[in-house]
Chains A and B, each alone.
Chain A
């Protein structure tokens, strides 16, 4: 094949362009720190990258939901804890007031403390977490109990407030108010028992006061059961949260493998393409010059 000067410079330019393009590619990867800058860089990789991004996004959301659920339950836990302490105090007062030797005015004093504790229980029943009543099911915007729930009829909602903590997995975060305080129609419900105790104390009815002691004990047991129910859910949440954290790390790792640049490789590539480019420039400078013209002097 006959080779001419113009062919040579044309071919050199083409090769130089190719080398320059490779240099540009590695430089882009290094400056963006990503090996995936557009879908055509790796069509299969970009689909995985999108998938991982989506998973990371939803996993983080589930994590946030689980944390929110956890704080709701911590709040419920502390409310029940306080209720437990009140019921314990009420039991003490009942024992005190049930003794035959207690004078009438002392009983009246006890009754007034019972009345205070009753009010305290009612306000616990009307607890709000972030503006939502926690014991009224899904009717979170309505006060569940009146000031005197032992005598004013109430009907609580039994709806469960569900938080999503995984793909297709939800956890109810609320505790039913009727399970904690009893239904209005139930004579052994907490409010009715406390209200009854107060009335018995006022009426000096020792046998009724003593009967209230065991009813209070039953309520105390019920509260403990509810508290462990909440504790169980919290356990589940703790497991879920650590699993979600693992998942998130996992997906971030996978995403990095697809999207991020392998520094060592990219720098080696850059150095290689740099020296190739340099070499082709050198070659060009050397090859282009000499022709027969240079020797005909």
Chain B
């Protein structure tokens, strides 16, 4: 015999369950735009039926339903899609950072433009052409032009080197900021784990906290490669950059020393930007500056050239009258513009050979883009620029004196001609030059083309990565995000079920009313 109030209880359970479902729907609707929120469903089950009581255990298949129960409220989420999304987001972040840096480097190299290295070097060579036409003391303006164009060239090198250096420093700073950001997430994740365990220890589902933790892991994934593992008995671990940073309630801060384990993500992107890209273009600028000053290059010394004392030109045929004068033109390998400049004579009397044209500002022996300077002598006095390759011996008051032929501009011509000569950029093939032998302009073009290709490649990788990450995110959202249409339909469904359950209570109420108030009144 069933209880009198059995059906009343079923009605009540119905109302309660539908109400819970409506609350869940409300939670979903209001969180439709919450980042990281995954929709929740109230899991309804028919309550465990009781057997129809009898004298002995019943063999009757009739079982009496006990109504409905909400057994749990679950998140709808696919763990595998999380992994896919995080992987793609991580990869995308790497390329985004590289793209940004390469874009910055493009801005620094600033080609093609009116104040780039290619333009200043062209103007520098042209200045030497001017000097070759006016080498004598009668018109010093051509010398001043060489002086100023050389200054512009070295300043362009210095400026670019400084900017690249600043970019590198900024990247270092950003790596540090991102690492502390990661550590912030790591702490939060372990704190959330603590809360989740406390709640789930009581048998509830900490859905919203789990959403928050997953969102934090998503953010961590943008910073670096991340792996999450959780076993059935709630053992939770986050591995970031190959290091276990969250082990249940314990967290270990990530440090720069662990950076090698980062294979992707923003931090890797910044480190690569600095150590690969900024380093590469700094190196290329250094190679260019050094090669211009000291790189081996072959020039043809014209007949009539007076070779300075102490210089020995192999295979040279000297004049019978003057052992220092070339009888025929000869090809000779010099060490860059500096080496060539030393073969000529300045305007000074008594005769003086040219010194180093380019020097370092810091006294170091290697010329780099940062330390290349025009020799201070040349800046102080343009007469110290060597342009002539001829001297003559004359008698001044009975003493033989050697003086320079001012009208000779052979050296200026040879230097201007370096524009068409192939320099040896990397004789030992260990400096990392793009090509070994090239004209200065040609080398610059290769560097710029390489930069353009790298930047273009990074842009394409960002575009592809965005597509892939978007796709993964779409798949994930397809499962987890809130559809308002769906929620509205559910709302109607639950509302109707709620009304029907309430109606059940009314029915039972009426039945009891009949029984209590309208029965057993015979003869009254």
Report 6 cross-chain contacts, Cβ distance below 8 Å, ordered by A residue: A5-B483, A7-B478, A50-B448, A162-B410, A168-B420, A296-B492
A3 touches B478 (CB 8 A): yes
- Among A40, A49, A140, A292, contact of B138 (Cβ-Cβ < 8 Å): A140
With known contacts A47-B445, A292-B484, A293-B488, A141–B407 Cβ distance under 8 A: yes
Residues 130 to 151 of chain B near chain A (Cβ within 8 Å): 132-134, 136-139
* Bound CA span A53–B445, Å: 11
Pair A162/B118 contact, Cβ less than 8 Å:
no
* Contact mask for chain A residues 71-113; partner B; CB cutoff 8 A; 1 contact, 0 none: 0000000000000000000000000000000000000000000
Complex Cα gap A259–B114 (Å): 14
- Within B414-452, which residues are at the interface with A (CB < 8 Å)? 416-417, 419-420, 441-442, 444-446, 448-452
Q: Is the CB of A2 within 8 A of B483?
A: yes
Alpha-carbon distance between A2 and B76 when the two chains are bound, in angstroms: 13
Given known A61-B129, A161-B409, contact A40–B482 (CB-CB < 8 A): no
Minimum Cβ distance to chain A for residue B390 (Å)? 6
Q: Name the residue of chain A whose CB is nearest to the CB of B451.
A: A39
Task: Find chain B residues with CB under 8 A from A131 CB.
Answer: 136, 138-139
Please state if A138 and B408 are interface contacts (CB–CB under 8 Å). Answer: yes
Q: Are A170 and B413 in contact (CB under 8 A)?
A: yes
How many residue pairs bridge A and B at CB < 8 Å?
182
Of the candidates A50, A68, A292, the one whose C-beta lies within 8 Å of that of B441 is: A50
Of the stretches B59-67, B105-113, B361-369, the one at the interface is B105-113
| In the complex, chain A residues 140-167 whose Cβ is within 8 Å of any chain B Cβ | 140-141, 157, 159, 161-164, 167
Q: Determine the chain A residues whose CB is within 8 A of the CB of B456 once the complex forms.
A: 40, 43
Hey, which chain A residues are within 8 Å of B441, CB to CB? 50-51, 54
User: Do B413 and A164 touch (CB < 8 A)?
Assistant: yes
Contact B137–A141 (Cβ < 8 Å): yes
Tell me if B449 and A43 are in contact (CB < 8 A).
yes
Chain A, interface size category, equals: 35 or more
Within 8 Å of chain B (Cβ to Cβ): is A16?
A: no
Q: Which residues of A contact B (CB under 8 A)?
A: 1-7, 10-11, 14, 36, 38-44, 46-47, 49-51, 53-54, 57-58, 61-62, 65, 68, 130-132, 136-141, 157, 159, 161-164, 167-168, 170, 259, 291-293, 296
A136 to B405, CA, bound (A): 11
Interface check B375, CB cutoff 8 A: no
Chain A residues, Cβ within 8 Å of B416 = 164
User: In the assembly, what is the distance between CA of A6 and CA of B482, in Å?
Assistant: 8
Assembled-state Cα–Cα distance A10/B481 (Å): 12
Question: Does B7 interact with chain A (Cβ within 8 Å)?
Answer: no
Within B459-512, the residues touching A (CB, 8 Å) are 459, 466, 470, 473-475, 477-479, 481-486, 488-489, 492
**Distance in angstroms between the alpha carbons of A175 and B416 in the assembled complex:** 24
The verdict on B102 contacting chain A, using a C-beta distance below 8 Å, is yes
Task: For the complex of A and B, list the 4 residue pairs with the smallest distance between their C-beta atoms, beginning with the closest.
Answer: A39-B452, A43-B452, A140-B407, A40-B455
Choice from B122, B392, B406, B473 contacting A58 with Cβ under 8 Å? B122
B434 to chain A, nearest CB (A): 12
Which residues on the A side are within 8 Å of B93 (C-beta)?
none
Known: A40-B106, A57-B122. 6 other contacts (CB 8 A): A4-B481, A6-B33, A10-B473, A46-B448, A46-B452, A53-B118
Knowing A47-B449, A159-B405 are in contact, say whether A54-B118 is a contact too (CB < 8 A).
Answer: yes
Rounded to whole Å, the gap between the CB of A132 and the closest CB of chain B is 6
B330 within 8 A of A: no
Q: Contacts A4-B482, A5-B484, A11-B474: A38 and B106 contacting too (C-beta < 8 A)?
A: yes
Give the chain B neighbours of A42 by CB distance below 8 A.
Answer: 452
Query: Are B138 and A46 within 8 A (Cβ)?
Result: no
Report if B123 contacts A (CB, 8 A): yes
| Chain B, residue nearest A15 (CB) | B470
B453 sits at the interface (CB 8 A) = yes
Interface residues of B in 282-318 (CB under 8 A from A): 304
Q: Are A291 and B488 in contact (CB under 8 A)?
A: yes
With both chains docked as a complex, state the minimum distance between the C-beta of A100 and any C-beta of chain B, in angstroms.
49
Q: Specify which chain B residues have a CB less than 8 angstroms from the CB of A168 in the assembled complex.
A: 417, 420
Residues of B within 8 A of A36 (CB): 112
Q: Closest residue of chain A to B138, judged by CB?
A: A131
User: What separation, in Å, do the CA atoms of A1 and B473 have in the docked complex?
Assistant: 13
Point out residues on B near A: beta carbons under 8 Å.
Answer: 32-33, 102-103, 106-107, 109, 111-112, 118-119, 122-123, 125-126, 129, 132-134, 136-139, 304, 388, 390, 392, 405-410, 413, 416-417, 419-420, 441-442, 444-446, 448-453, 455-456, 459, 466, 470, 473-475, 477-479, 481-486, 488-489, 492
Min C-beta distance of B457 to chain A, whole Å? 9
Q: Bound complex: CA of A4 vs CA of B106, how far in Å? A: 41
In the bound complex, CA of A132 to CA of B138 (Å): 7
- Give chain A residues whose Cβ lies under 8 Å from the Cβ of B118: 50, 53-54
B-chain residues with CB within 8 Å of residue A43 when the two chains form the complex: 449-453, 456
Q: How far is the CB of A8 from chain B (nearest CB, A)?
A: 10
Residues on B with beta carbons closer than 8 Å to the beta carbon of A51: 441-442, 445
How far apart sit A57 and B121, CA to CA, in the bound complex (Å)?
10
B450 nearest CB neighbor, chain A only: A43
Report yes or no: A53 in contact with B122, Cβ–Cβ below 8 A.
yes
B129 touches A46 (CB 8 A): no
Q: Given A5, A140, A157, which contacts B136 in the complex, CB threshold below 8 Å?
A: A140
Does A162 contact B478, Cβ atoms closer than 8 Å?
Answer: no
* Whole-angstrom distance between the Cβ of A1 and the nearest chain B Cβ: 5
Closest to B102 in A: A40
Q: Which among B109, B111, B492 has the greatest number of chain A C-beta atoms within 10 A?
A: B111
By the criterion CB–CB under 8 Å, are B405 and A50 in contact? Answer: no
Whether A164 lies near B419 (C-beta < 8 A) is no
CA distance A10 to B455 in the complex (A): 27
Q: Write out the residue numbers on chain B whose beta carbons fall within 8 Å of the beta carbon of A44.
A: 449
Asked whether, in the complex, the Cβ of B406 is within 8 Å of the Cβ of A141, the reply is: yes
CB distance from B426 to the nearest CB of A (A): 19
Complex Cα–Cα for A58 and B126 (A) = 7
Q: Which of B451, B473, B478 contacts A4 (CB 8 A)?
A: B478
Most buried by B among A5, A39, A51, A136: A39
- Min distance, Cβ A2 to any Cβ of chain B, angstroms: 5
B164 CB to closest chain A CB (Å) equals: 15
Taking CB as reference atom, which chain A residue is nearest B35? Answer: A6
Expressed in whole angstroms, the Cα–Cα distance for A68 and B133 within the complex equals 9
- Residue on A nearest B105 in the bound complex, by CB: A39
Across the interface, which residues of A come within 8 angstroms of B388, CB to CB? 138
User: How far apart sit A38 and B470, CA to CA, in the bound complex (Å)?
Assistant: 28
**B484 interface neighbour in A65, A132, A293, Cβ under 8 Å:** A293
